[in-house]
Amino acid sequence: MQIATFNINGVKARIETVLNWLDAANPDVALLQEIKSEDASFPRAPFEDRGYNLETHGQKGFNGVAILSKYPLEDVTRGLPGDDSDEQARWIEATVVGKRAVRLCGLYLPNGNPAPGPKYDYKLAWMERLEARARDLLAAEEPAVMAGDYNVIPQDEDAARPEAWKDDALALPQTRAAFRRIVNLGFTEAFRARTQGGGHYSFWDYQRGAWNRNDGIRIDHLLLTPQAADLMTDCRIEAELRGGEKPSDHVPVWLTLDA
């Protein structure tokens, strides 16, 4: 099973970019972030015409997550548990059954800037809720993947210029500690299980020629339960996708499971 996570930065603004990518790459499952579209106005037809089952959790102009799957999507839920008052569309999960069932969770974790402040408080509270959901996924003892734009730079080697991010919400000690607490519950960080060292990025700012200078950061991650990690055969960043007329500021990260 080929799974890709991709922050597309607006489905309507970049629909041709996304459709061209799907035609060329043909993932079995794609977890999308920042669709920036309400569910009712999401352009479903081009995706369904390509054989994808589609589930969205969107809101107007901001955030929003989606799952595309060549396999049926079962037991779909929307919204991260733990705060019924949270109206931001940042979490969707479903079970995908290929050779075996895998629970897939697509997430768009809050940015948190400016920090300190209410937005950073929301980020840390959201990560506490994520940790609680992660514990439940582990307790189920089934293959599960939490994938998406975490807005977390786990360590200095995940930034071309770590000093430029030291006061940013993506790299503050509290952010990194919250991320480590989740991983240390027993998850495998898929990319780092396959590739070590610096120079591997999934996001480049549109400003200041960051792409041309490879001034990037790695903030798109896939965390695997032990049962999913046992099925992993590869994980890679599709950095060569960046470019074209309307690129996203992110590129896809791919996971291959024997499932």
Q: Please state whether the peptide bond connecting residue 173 to the residue before it is cis, i.e. omega within 30 degrees of 0.
A: no
* Helix, strand, coil percentages in the chain from 3-state DSSP, rounded to 5: 25, 30, 45
Which of these is catalytic: 108, 120, 150, 201? 108
pLDDT digits (tens, 9 = 90+) for 130-186: 999 999 999 999 999 999 999 999 999 999 999 999 999 999 999 999 999 999 999
Are 171 and 165 in contact by the 8 Å Cβ rule? The answer is yes
pLDDT digits (tens, 9 = 90+) for 44-92: 999 999 999 999 999 999 999 999 999 999 999 999 999 999 999 999 9
Is 120 considered catalytic here? no
- What's the Cα-to-Cα distance from 231 to each of 57, 99, 143, 161, 182, rounded to whole Å? 28, 11, 8, 34, 20
Is 149 considered catalytic here? yes
Cα distance between residue 255 and residue 54, in whole Å: 19
Which of these is catalytic: 149, 158, 168, 220? 149
Nearest to 151 by CA among 103, 80, 202, 197: 202
pTM attached to this predicted model: 0.97
